[in-house]
Amino acid sequence: MREPLIFEKSREDRRGYSLPECDVGRKGVEKLIPGNYLRQGRLGLPQVSEPDVVRHFVRLSQQNIGIDTNFYPLGSCTMKYNPKVNEDIAQLPGFTRIHPYQPEVSVQGTLQLLHQMEILLCELSGMDRVSLQPAAGAHGELTSLMMIKAYYENKKEERDTILIPDSAHGTNAASSNFCGFRIIEIKSNESGVIDLDDLKDKMSQKVAALMLTIPNTLGLFEPGILQIARIVHNKEGFLYLDGANLNALLGIVRPSDLGIDIMHFNLHKTFSTPHGGGGPGSGPVGVKRTLAAYLPVPTVEKNSKGYYLDYNRARSIGKVRSFYGNIGVIIRAYCYLRSLGKEGLKKISYNAVLNANYLMQRLKNYFYLPYDQPCMHEFVLSGKDGEMKEVRTLDIAKRLLDFGFHPPTIYFPLIVKEALMIEPTETECKETLDAFASAMIEIRKEIEENPSAVKEAPHNLSIGRLDEVKASRQLKLRW
Amino acid sequence: MYPKSLKYSQSHEWVKVDKDIATVGITDFATKQLTDLVYVELPSLEGRVSKGSSFGAVESVKAVSDLCSPVSGKIIKVNEKLSMQPEIINQDPYGEGWMIKVKIEDQTELDTLMDSEEYEELVKKEK
Amino acid sequence: MIPYIPNTEEDQKEMLKEIGAESIEALFCAIPQNLRLKTDLNLPSSLSEMELVNELKGLSKKNAHLDEYVSFLGAGSYDHFIPALLDHLSGRSEFYTSYTPYQAEASQGMLQATYEYQSLICQLFQMDICNASLYDGATALAEAVILAHKVNHGKEVLVVKSVHPESRQVLTTYIKKTLGLSIMEIDCQNGVTDLAQLKEKISNDTSCVIVQNPNFFGCLEEVKKIEEITHQSGSLYIVSVDPISLGLLVPPGEYNADMAVGEGQALGSKLNFGGPYLGIFTSKKKFLRKIPGRIVGETIDKEGKRGFVLTLQTREQHIRRERATSNICTNQALNALRAVIYLSTLGEKGLPKVAELCLQKSHYAARRIYQIPGFEPTFTSPFFKEFAVKCPIPPNKINKLLWDNKILGGFELSRLYPQLQNSLLFCVTEKRTRGDIDRLIRLLEGMV
């Protein structure tokens, strides 16, 4: 059964709200606001009862899969379990029912939490300061690039170029361009990591930064990281870390020890905050001392009287969003870090890497593995090895839905044809990994024996394969 | 399998030359790589194109590809029908799916283009 | 032991055996030994669930929250009523533990809800198209300005000083650092745009004119007159609105706004100390291929059943990379979901009722305050739910006294507008009762 649109459930005079009568002397609206400011006619919003609203959205939720319902090995997205206690804590009225302009003395609890969160992120990354304001990873990238730009402007150096590996997330390039930089791509070598010669050729005094993802999007650690850092630092550029894949490194390596000068974290990936069906996320930015003066305002500081917001920062790039950040997300991530503690951090990366290698081992004889070496927290298979009978990666993804699994990330990274990027995370048990491997192997057999079953999938959901071409050709973007 | 009467560019455009007028489109191979096209962005009539530079783009659901002009010159005709029905490019890439007509400025530019056999070699390598 | 990691020692052994590795440590062979941490990080020890709850409850109690204090503070973050069903429905973990709906067939719930969000916002704003959300109202405004520049390449942006100061600050950071455009600010007269100054400053170089309605001072702008001036010079018209106000006020589509944005927090998101909130972005249809962010479209499956997918993705960073219309990836989907549920619940008749309650109560409060000797309106322009009051005693003293009586007072305008030294900006939403307002009045009366 497909659920109708909420508009289609509307009936005149039904209502889902309960509001009090006006308890102050009511005046005619036109007496308070001149008529030409007032809206005429209907709003065109639905009229539905409270049970209608509830059933509608509960039914919609049933047509959506999340980590709580299914294995969700979406590469580069770190879809790990989102602890329930963190949800409850984030909903305490002391956290949700506070106004951003309340007196600082009345919000010391949240300010203290933000201050401590900065200290925790500094400790595990080796950065000197962290701003918690950016709302998402890409927002963190943009904030960082603005800081880098301000730094060179202040030094009166003209640096207009950002280096980005060909395996990078699209956001790296988009953020750089957004910030007015020119982009030069660095090639990956046959082992899937940075081609050092290509980097040497392209690194110059015009380059403001190299943006690296470690491990990279193939799930591989950059073995030449120290040389990379030296090449970039010798020309006085910055080494930027896209922290999307930090789940492999927690407690094992500190980004600062790799030569990283500036980075963003994805609290909605590594630090287990729920992704909300697309957001909100949180993308804090960490920097070494050189760049600390450029952090957005306000920072959270502490003095003898307590915690306070500091706007008095002369070289700051300014504000990058209203107020102070996606606080509700930061609270959840803080809870997660405190639950893990120093003992737990390393277990995260150990088990994330173990699970990924195990799954890779189970699958590599059935699907083409372009970079056959131990992986970190994720690995990339290719749906292209010449004998797939015109079955494409997209088809494999859709067929996986029939087996009750959310598909991996597909068609990314771009340097692998027909890519399937698989990240199981540490919160999945061996039985789940085995079941997923069996499904993939089963699909591999189907490709040999009955490819149309794969090409026409999914078969077992409330909806069949959706026509994205039609959606793009005959755009219908609202009711 | 690629029409002998046409010339081809490295970036998968074809050119049909009729005296000093070049008709430009993209090859069947290009449309198959891109899959179903859903949007095409073409230049305005008054404009001019130069060899190797972008004159527009075609889009499928999941990819965008620049259109690179194989010749330089003034644009004298644009296939307006494509903006409403980009699927024509998939259906008939060498016929109804043509994109622009250009008044050729420099005939020697044509010499650098491939013939159908050379193009077939290129496609084999890219497959 | 961490309950979120299922692998036992036995599991680990079996898995390592399958992999053919001696230890988990061995899987990290790509990381040179000298780069690895030699000791544990200097972090606190792990906490059990009970310990965590106790510690965080302790922190939350160091905040004074608005179940205990009565708020007359707004200034961009509003204490509106949130029906109980919102937490229950947006708290369905099928929604909140899902990722961006890349696999449409597995994400129909979120996709349909987002399509409904787009539809409801288009309806409310009377605009052609709406995206799936941006980070907040301020960044939505910045994205609109960037789009305007892409469309007309104008070098100058005119923004009225009555636009939220935080939005103007974000705008400055965004467009100075990215596009190098110049921003000219237009003064206000009596709390609204100085039209004469706008006419004077607008030119062929003006890319766009930005106003907020109701503006930061709560006043209603002459949006139609501003529209005429803006479009006469060939500039684009960008308006930032409070979505609740649209229950009563003329929507931006009706006064020909090219882009209309807004802070959507008031539509069912909590105060949250400033975030997560909801960036609403709408525009005219002609800008469709240039707008930022995700968009959901309707389509059918192979049997002709209606379904929903992410569409027009070629605008986005994961496909177009450096030529994408914006760098945004993760947005504020869950807040958009809350907005759909809120708007569905309130609906055709509820939203105007909320808006009218705000209007009546704020005007009642204003009338009563102005009866107290020494208090007078800072501005006399019409207002919606916020109003500025010139006070006979320093606003910080007033707020201190109110706070001691469990009332969160108004916003001290001098914090961001030095010339408005003695003014407090009060906000009265539908949640304030006559009793709350009368108590505020008595306290103010007692101060003079």
- Predicted local distance difference test score (pLDDT) of residue A321: 98
Where are the domains positioned within chain B? 7-106
- C298: domain CATH number is 3.40.640.10
Distance CA C166, CA A76 (A): 33
Report the residue of B61, B62, B65, B66 to disrupt the C interface, i.e. the one with the largest count of C CBs within 10 Å.
Answer: B61
DSSP C46: P
Residue C100: HSE in the Cβ half-sphere, 13 Å Cα cutoff: 29
> Is the same domain home to C171 and C289?
yes
Exposure pattern of A358-373 as b/e (b: 16+ CB <10 Å)? bbbbbbeebbbbbbee
Q: At what angle do helices A393-402 and A430-449 cross, to 10 degrees?
A: 120
Assess C307–A contact: CB distance below 8 Å, yes or no: yes
Residue A81: HSE in the Cβ half-sphere, 13 Å Cα cutoff: 14
User: Could you tell me the end-to-end alpha-carbon distance of chain B, in angstroms, rounded to an integer?
Assistant: 15
Asked if residue A443 is part of any domain, the answer here is yes
Assess C416–A contact: CB distance below 8 Å, yes or no: no
Assess B91–C contact: CB distance below 8 Å, yes or no: no
- Predicted local distance difference test score (pLDDT) of residue C40: 85
- C401: domain CATH number is 3.90.1150.10
A83 and A335 in contact (C-beta within 8 Å)? yes
User: How far, CA to CA in Å, does A97 sit from each of C113, C409, C428?
Assistant: 26, 15, 16
Contact C36 A252 (CB under 8 A): yes
DSSP C310: E
Instruction: Say whether C441 sits in a helix, a strand or coil.
Output: helix
> Is the same domain home to C417 and C384?
yes
Contact A95 C272 (CB under 8 A): yes
> Is the same domain home to A266 and A316?
yes
Handedness of CA C210, C213, C215, C221 (dihedral sign): positive
Distance CA C131, CA C152 (A): 21
Asked if residue A479 is part of any domain, the answer here is no
Domain enclosing residue C313, as ranges: 86-342
> Is the same domain home to A270 and A288?
yes
pLDDT in tens, A299-334: 999 999 999 999 999 999 999 999 999 999 999 999
- A355: domain CATH number is 3.90.1150.10
Nearest CA in chain B to A417: B127
Backbone angles phi, psi at C317, to 5 degrees: -60, -35
Closest in C289, C319, C323 to B62, CB measured: C319
Side chain identity at residue B17, one-letter code: V
Contact A96 C272 (CB under 8 A): yes
> Is the same domain home to C406 and C304?
no
Tally of domains within chain A: 3
Asked if residue A195 is part of any domain, the answer here is yes
> Is the same domain home to C315 and C414?
no
Tally of domains within chain C: 2
Assess A21–B contact: CB distance below 8 Å, yes or no: no
Backbone angles phi, psi at A280, to 5 degrees: -75, 145
C311 chain-B contacts, CB cut-off 8 A: 61
Please identify, among C282, C311, C342, the residue that sits at the C-terminal boundary of a domain: C342
Q: What is the pLDDT along chain C (448 residues), one digit of tens a residue?
A: 689 999 999 999 999 999 999 999 999 999 999 999 998 899 999 999 999 999 999 999 999 999 999 999 999 999 999 999 999 999 999 999 999 999 999 999 999 999 999 999 999 999 999 999 999 999 999 999 999 999 999 999 999 999 999 999 999 999 986 788 999 999 999 999 999 999 999 999 999 999 999 999 999 999 999 999 999 999 999 999 999 999 999 999 999 999 999 999 999 999 999 999 999 999 999 999 999 999 999 999 999 999 999 999 999 998 888 889 999 999 999 999 999 999 999 999 999 999 999 999 999 999 999 999 999 999 999 999 999 999 999 999 999 999 999 999 999 999 999 999 999 999 999 999 999 999 999 999 999 8
Report the residue of C9, C94, C263, C288 to disrupt the A interface, i.e. the one with the largest count of A CBs within 10 Å.
Answer: C94
Contact A411 B62 (CB under 8 A): yes
Chains near A, with 3+ CB pairs < 8 A? B, C
Query: Looking at CA atoms only, how far is residue B18 from chain C in angstroms?
Result: 35
Closest in A98, A296, A362 to C65, CB measured: A98
Contact C347 A17 (CB under 8 A): yes
> Is the same domain home to A131 and A207?
yes
Sequence-separated (6 or more) residues with CB below 8 Å from residue B70: B7, B8, B9, B13, B14, B15, B22, B24, B51, B109, B113
A210 and A178 in contact (C-beta within 8 Å)? no
Query: Looking at CA atoms only, how far is residue B50 from chain A in angstroms?
Result: 23
Assess A476–B contact: CB distance below 8 Å, yes or no: no
> Is the same domain home to A398 and A441?
yes
Instruction: Say whether B101 sits in a helix, a strand or coil.
Output: strand
Assess B41–A contact: CB distance below 8 Å, yes or no: no
C112 chain-A contacts, CB cut-off 8 A: 3, 5, 60, 63
Asked if residue A263 is part of any domain, the answer here is yes
Query: Looking at CA atoms only, how far is residue A298 from chain C in angstroms?
Result: 12
Please name which of A324, A330, A319 lies closest in space to residue A308, comparing C-alpha atoms: A324
Chains B–C, number of C-beta pairs less than 8 Å apart: 16
Tokens of residue C142, six digits: 């910045």
- Predicted local distance difference test score (pLDDT) of residue C1: 64
Give the ranges where A43-202 is alpha helix by DSSP (H). 50-62, 84-90, 93-96, 108-125, 137-154, 170-178, 196-202
Please identify, among A276, A306, A339, the residue that sits at the C-terminal boundary of a domain: A339
Asked if residue C334 is part of any domain, the answer here is yes
Contact B61 A473 (CB under 8 A): no
Assess A154–C contact: CB distance below 8 Å, yes or no: no
Please identify, among C342, C376, C391, the residue that sits at the C-terminal boundary of a domain: C342
User: How far, CA to CA in Å, does C246 sit from each of A224, C117, C355?
Assistant: 57, 16, 8
Query: Tokens 């944005």 appear where?
Result: C261
Query: Looking at CA atoms only, how far is residue B63 from chain C in angstroms?
Result: 6
Residue A277: HSE in the Cβ half-sphere, 13 Å Cα cutoff: 32
Side chain identity at residue A334, one-letter code: Y
Please identify, among C293, C324, C342, the residue that sits at the C-terminal boundary of a domain: C342
CATH-assigned architecture of domain B7-106: Beta Barrel (2.40)
Chains near C, with 3+ CB pairs < 8 A? A, B
- Find the Cα–Cα–Cα–Cα dihedral A246, A250, A256, A260, rounded to 10°: -10
> Is the same domain home to A227 and A302?
yes
Assess B105–A contact: CB distance below 8 Å, yes or no: no
Distance CA B103, CA A82 (A): 62
C73 and C408 in contact (C-beta within 8 Å)? yes
Contact B87 A468 (CB under 8 A): no
Distance CA C309, CA C295 (A): 9
Backbone angles phi, psi at A289, to 5 degrees: -50, -40
Query: Tokens 């008054």 appear where?
Result: B46
Q: In this structure, how many other beta carbons lie within 10 angstroms of the beta carbon of residue A191?
A: 12
Parallel/antiparallel/unpaired status of strands C206-213 and C236-241 = parallel
Sequence-separated (6 or more) residues with CB below 8 Å from residue B84: none
Please identify among residues 244-273 of chain C the ones whose CB lies closer than 8 Å to any CB of chain A.
Answer: 246-251, 254, 263, 270-273
> Is the same domain home to A282 and A165?
yes
Contact C274 A325 (CB under 8 A): yes
Please name which of B35, C355, C1 lies closest in space to residue A395, comparing C-alpha atoms: B35
Instruction: Say whether C420 sits in a helix, a strand or coil.
Output: coil
> Is the same domain home to C395 and C353?
yes
Exposure pattern of A200-236 as b/e (b: 16+ CB <10 Å)? eebbeeebbbbbbbbbbbbbbbbebbeebbebbeeee
Contact A472 B62 (CB under 8 A): no
Contact A252 C75 (CB under 8 A): no
> Is the same domain home to C293 and C354?
no
Task: Grade residue A386 by pLDDT with cuts at 50, 70 and 90.
Answer: low
Assess B83–C contact: CB distance below 8 Å, yes or no: no
Instruction: Say whether C166 sits in a helix, a strand or coil.
Output: helix
Distance CA C57, CA B118 (A): 73
Q: At what angle do helices A327-363 and C49-61 cross, to 10 degrees?
A: 150
Query: Looking at CA atoms only, how far is residue A391 from chain B in angstroms?
Result: 14
pLDDT in tens, C45-78: 999 999 999 999 999 999 999 999 999 999 999 9
C132 chain-A contacts, CB cut-off 8 A: 278
Instruction: Say whether C300 sits in a helix, a strand or coil.
Output: strand
> Is the same domain home to A321 and A351?
no
- Predicted local distance difference test score (pLDDT) of residue B45: 83
Assess C313–B contact: CB distance below 8 Å, yes or no: yes
Mean pLDDT of chain A: 96
Query: Looking at CA atoms only, how far is residue A82 from chain B in angstroms?
Result: 30
- A307: domain CATH number is 3.40.640.10
Assess A472–B contact: CB distance below 8 Å, yes or no: yes
Contact B64 C313 (CB under 8 A): no
> Is the same domain home to A319 and A400?
no
Domain enclosing residue A335, as ranges: 85-339
> Is the same domain home to A443 and A322?
no
> Is the same domain home to C192 and C218?
yes
Sequence-separated (6 or more) residues with CB below 8 Å from residue A465: A398, A456, A457, A458, C105, C301, C302
Q: What is the pLDDT along chain B (127 residues), one digit of tens a residue?
A: 899 999 999 999 999 999 999 999 999 999 998 999 999 999 988 788 999 999 999 999 988 999 999 999 999 999 999 999 999 999 999 999 999 999 999 999 999 999 999 999 999 888 7
Tokens of residue C354, six digits: 């909320």
User: How far, CA to CA in Å, does A275 sit from each of A278, A279, A387, C266?
Assistant: 6, 5, 37, 21
Residue C416 CB burial class (10 angstroms; 0-12, 13-18, ≥19): middle
A221 and A379 in contact (C-beta within 8 Å)? no
A335 and A314 in contact (C-beta within 8 Å)? no
> Is the same domain home to A265 and A332?
yes
pLDDT in tens, A245-294: 999 999 999 999 999 999 999 999 999 999 999 999 999 999 999 999 99
Task: Grade residue A387 by pLDDT with cuts at 50, 70 and 90.
Answer: confident
Asked if residue C20 is part of any domain, the answer here is no
Query: Looking at CA atoms only, how far is residue C313 from chain B in angstroms?
Result: 7
Backbone angles phi, psi at C129, to 5 degrees: -135, 155
Query: Looking at CA atoms only, how far is residue B107 from chain A in angstroms?
Result: 34
Please identify, among A339, A372, A394, the residue that sits at the C-terminal boundary of a domain: A339
Report the residue of A95, A285, A423, A478 to disrupt the C interface, i.e. the one with the largest count of C CBs within 10 Å.
Answer: A478
Report the residue of B54, B58, B59, B60 to disrupt the C interface, i.e. the one with the largest count of C CBs within 10 Å.
Answer: B59
Exposure pattern of C325-358 as b/e (b: 16+ CB <10 Å)? bbbbbbbbbbbbbbbbbbbbbbbbbbbbbbbbbb
> Is the same domain home to C338 and C356?
no
Side chain identity at residue A9, one-letter code: K
- Predicted local distance difference test score (pLDDT) of residue B47: 87
Residue A32 CB burial class (10 angstroms; 0-12, 13-18, ≥19): buried
Residue A187 CB burial class (10 angstroms; 0-12, 13-18, ≥19): middle
> Is the same domain home to C168 and C312?
yes
Contact A469 B36 (CB under 8 A): yes
